[in-house]
């Protein structure tokens, strides 16, 4: 457990962090149980928040079930290609469009010009081909194309599809070394490199613990600032680890019945995401407490989805849901 001389000093939002986690996880299990009433929290009823466990989110579930663990006998190079292609756009409808036009998406069927044409046509039709969850740099200064998707497809062609890149991934000894390898790619910064490392680690290409390494994103940094009046001797990454290490104690302190995912406690990536979601929740629950970005509203409105998810997690986790 991480210990330093001067520990962080929590604000009132720190308790909200744990209450948020508990209620959002209750909503997750209430939905699985097909309860008519998911929550009575007015903020949750009005606004959309991601799941407590990152792997439970709709996009992550699609990645795990439909991209990685398919019945087809994909090669390791195919799996890497499919993960990065999907995550660059991070949008299920974009993947489905490519599947409709291309058929089986694998290294053998990748053609830069064909993929560009399909996505350019979608763009001309005013269809969003990128998710709004992540900010992707255009890459024009590196690859020279006018449109973002062209530069990102060229990134895949020139880097991801090279056998030596897969070899480098398989030679990584830690999650942090995988993160560093991805961070060195053009257009991929610190936050995306961490997210992609987690996504690759869902597959059989690597098998690192999600407790090995964390990289705070901008939203998480906002949440951390709201949850603590002082960081003490801790960095933002240290705080995420400190919180993750102390989760059982904090739930007990607040008398919260947190329902974990099987026997899997919250991991660093989950607690990192929770800070981001707590930042959003606190804009309404604690409007007087300001983060770095000074955002006042929650943009995403909750809309009930009729598409049920049959939850599936990396088999190597050996999870059993109630």
pLDDT for 306 = 67
Sign of CA dihedral 67, 68, 72, 74: positive
User: In the chain, how long is the greatest CA-to-CA distance?
Assistant: 58
Is the pLDDT at 49 greater than 80? The verdict is yes
∠ at Cα 47 (46, 49), nearest 5°? 145
Lowest-confidence region among 63-77, 147-161, 308-322: 308-322
Ordered by start, the domain boundaries in the chain are 9-55+213-317, 70-201
pLDDT for 73 = 85
For the segment 209-217, the average pLDDT, to the nearest whole number, is 97
Q: Which residues touch 25 (CB under 8 Å, ≥6 apart)? A: 51, 52, 53, 258, 259, 260
Q: How far apart are CA 93 and CA 304, in angstroms?
A: 18
Is the pLDDT at 172 greater than 80? The verdict is yes
Q: Which residues touch 121 (CB under 8 Å, ≥6 apart)? A: none
Q: Which pTM does this prediction carry?
A: 0.94
> Residue 108 to residues 77, 103, 115, 162, 292: CA-CA distances in angstroms?
10, 11, 13, 13, 45
- 223 pLDDT band (50/70/90 cuts)? very high
Lowest-confidence region among 29-38, 42-51, 128-137, 203-212: 128-137
Q: How far apart are CA 286 and CA 213, in angstroms?
A: 30
pLDDT for 322 = 62
Lowest-confidence region among 115-124, 170-179, 234-243, 307-316: 307-316
Is the pLDDT at 321 greater than 80? The verdict is no
Taking all residues of the chain, what is their mean pLDDT, rounded to a whole number? 94
∠ at Cα 95 (34, 280), nearest 5°? 55
Is the pLDDT at 26 greater than 90? The verdict is yes
Q: Tally helices (H) and strands (E) across the chain.
A: 15, 2
- 5 pLDDT band (50/70/90 cuts)? confident
- 71 pLDDT band (50/70/90 cuts)? confident
Q: Which two tokens stand for residue 70?
A: 């398919």
The pLDDT > 90 percentage for the chain reads 86
Is the pLDDT at 224 greater than 80? The verdict is yes
pLDDT for 295 = 78
- 38 pLDDT band (50/70/90 cuts)? very high
pLDDT for 297 = 76
Q: How far apart are CA 227 and CA 14, in angstroms?
A: 4
Query: Tens of pLDDT along 175-187?
Result: 999 999 999 999 9
Is the pLDDT at 220 greater than 90? The verdict is yes
Q: Which two tokens stand for residue 191?
A: 């936050």
Query: Tens of pLDDT along 258-304?
Result: 999 999 999 999 999 999 999 999 999 999 998 888 777 777 776 77
Q: Which two tokens stand for residue 260?
A: 């974990």
pLDDT for 4 = 65
Start-end of H helices in the chain: 12-32, 42-46, 58-62, 76-89, 92-102, 112-124, 140-143, 148-155, 163-170, 175-183, 190-201, 218-227, 236-245, 247-253, 268-285
End-to-end CA distance of the chain: give it in Å, rounded. Answer: 29
pLDDT for 308 = 80
Is the pLDDT at 17 greater than 90? The verdict is yes
pLDDT for 1 = 60
Q: How far apart are CA 314 and CA 322, in angstroms?
A: 17
Is the pLDDT at 116 greater than 90? The verdict is yes
């Amino acid at each position: 457990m991480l210990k330093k001389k001067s520990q962080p000093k929590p604000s009132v939002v720190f308790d909200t962090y744990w209450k948020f986690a508990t209620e959002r996880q209750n909503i997750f299990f209430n939905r699985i149980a097909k309860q008519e009433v998911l929550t009575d929290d007015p903020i949750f009823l009005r606004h959309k928040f991601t799941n407590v466990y990152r792997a439970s989110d709709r996009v992550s579930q699609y990645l795990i079930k439909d991209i990685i663990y398919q019945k087809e006998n994909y090669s390791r190079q195919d799996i890497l290609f499919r993960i990065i292609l999907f995550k660059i756009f991070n949008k299920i409808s974009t993947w489905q469009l490519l599947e409709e036009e291309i058929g089986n998406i694998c290294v053998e069927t990748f053609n830069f010009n064909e993929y560009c044409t399909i996505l350019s046509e979608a763009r001309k039709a005013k269809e969003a081909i990128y998710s709004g969850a992540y900010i992707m740099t255009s890459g024009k200064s590196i690859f020279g194309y006018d449109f973002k998707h062209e530069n990102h497809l060229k990134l895949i062609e020139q880097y991801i599809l090279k056998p030596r890149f897969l070899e480098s991934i398989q030679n990584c000894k830690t999650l942090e070394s995988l993160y560093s390898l991805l961070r060195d790619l053009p257009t991929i910064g610190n936050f995306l490199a961490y997210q992609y490392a987690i996504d690759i680690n869902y597959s059989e290409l690597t098998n690192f613990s999600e407790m090995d390494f964390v990289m705070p994103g901008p939203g998480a940094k906002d949440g951390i600032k709201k949850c603590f009046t002082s960081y003490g001797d801790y960095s933002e990454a240290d705080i995420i680890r400190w919180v993750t290490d102390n989760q059982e104690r904090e739930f007990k302190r607040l008398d919260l019945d947190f329902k974990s995912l099987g026997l899997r406690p919250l991991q660093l990536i989950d607690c990192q995401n929770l800070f981001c979601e707590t930042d959003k929740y606190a804009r309404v629950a604690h409007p007087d407490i300001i983060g770095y970005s000074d955002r006042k509203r929650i943009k995403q409105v909750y809309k009930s989805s009729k598409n049920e998810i049959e939850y599936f997690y990396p088999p190597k986790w050996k999870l059993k849901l109630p």
